[in-house]
Amino acid sequence: MPVEECFTQVHHFKWDKSCSERILDVANTKKSYTYHEEYQRMYDGIKQNNFKIDIKNSNFYVDRMKNNSYIEYKDYSHWNKLTQLIIKI
């Protein structure tokens, strides 16, 4: 499907106290289907920042939720920028 017609985002990551261990587990898998290189980059970045994520870093495109009980797709203001970035990868 051409991205101009339909751009499908798949985002799922459970952020809790076990996330750094889970990220490292995948990074250490070293199997191509796990995208272990990306997980290693994520782990290294989190480790470099004392296992915290700087939500004020504009490179992360963090956006405030408008409704705390439900995430609405249209509420995220950075879809266009993020889509263009992903397409370039």
pLDDT tens column, 41-79: 989 998 999 988 888 999 888 888 787 766 777 788 888
Quick: pLDDT tens for 18-42: 889 999 999 999 998 988 999 999 8
Does pLDDT of 88 surpass 70?
yes
Q: Where are the domains of the chain?
A: 16-53, 57-89
Burial of 23 (0-12, 13-18, 19+ CB in 10 A): buried
Does pLDDT of 83 surpass 80?
yes
Does pLDDT of 4 surpass 80?
no
- What is residue 48's predicted lDDT score, i.e. its pLDDT? 92
- What is residue 1's predicted lDDT score, i.e. its pLDDT? 65
- What is residue 87's predicted lDDT score, i.e. its pLDDT? 82
